[in-house]
């Protein structure tokens, strides 16, 4: 509460405002808003590997080399260092998916690459049945 200091006549109006009730009301409103807002839950579904079982065979040692698909800042797509069009990319993905042991796909976008091109590459790989995919840090 405010404390009056100094000389004051009995009939003069009090010119200071007591802000304590205003602060109390604001704190109550803040607490009510925090309590009533639903918690924000951003769930991301991930397919994480399962822990190995006792009777599960070990993974094969003859894994094929991964395919590196780089997406440059200008939208060009490189298949293991060779520039390919979107049609050639699709044909290469179909050929890799047809193999008995399909390789992993490593998508390496440039840090200035457009999201739409990277999403197209990943969707094309998934559409053709290549599910082992990773995104490497962009350059």
Mean pLDDT, the chain, rounded, equals 85
Strand order in 82-84's β-sheet? 82-84, 77-79, 67-71, 105-109, 133-135
Q: How confident is the model at residue 14 (pLDDT cuts 50, 70, 90)?
A: confident
CB atoms within 10 A of CB 92: 20
Judge contact between 102 and 67, C-beta under 8 A.
no
What whole-number distance in Å separates Cα of residue 132 and Cα of residue 71? Answer: 18
Task: Please state the rounded mean pLDDT for residues 58-62.
Answer: 72
Helix axis angle for 86-97 and 115-127, nearest 10°, is: 30
CA–CA separation, 44 and 62 (whole Å) = 32
- For residues 50-71, average pLDDT: 81
Confidence bin at 6 (pLDDT 50/70/90):
low
pLDDT of residue 3: 58
């Amino acid at each position: 509460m405010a404390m009056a200091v100094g000389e004051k006549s009995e009939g003069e109006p009090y010119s200071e405002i007591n802000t304590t009730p205003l602060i109390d009301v604001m704190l109550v409103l803040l607490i009510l808003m925090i309590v009533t807002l639903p918690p924000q839950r951003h769930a991301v579904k991930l397919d994480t590997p399962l822990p190995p079982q006792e009777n599960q065979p070990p993974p094969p040692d003859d894994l094929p080399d991964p395919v590196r698909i780089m997406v440059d800042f200008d939208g060009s797509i490189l298949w293991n260092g060779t520039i390919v069009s979107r049609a050639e990319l699709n044909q290469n993905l179909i050929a890799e998916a047809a193999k008995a042991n399909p390789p992993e796909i490593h998508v390496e976008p440039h840090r200035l690459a457009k999201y739409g091109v990277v999403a197209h590459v990943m969707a094309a790989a998934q559409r053709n049945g290549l599910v082992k995919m990773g995104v490497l840090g962009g350059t």
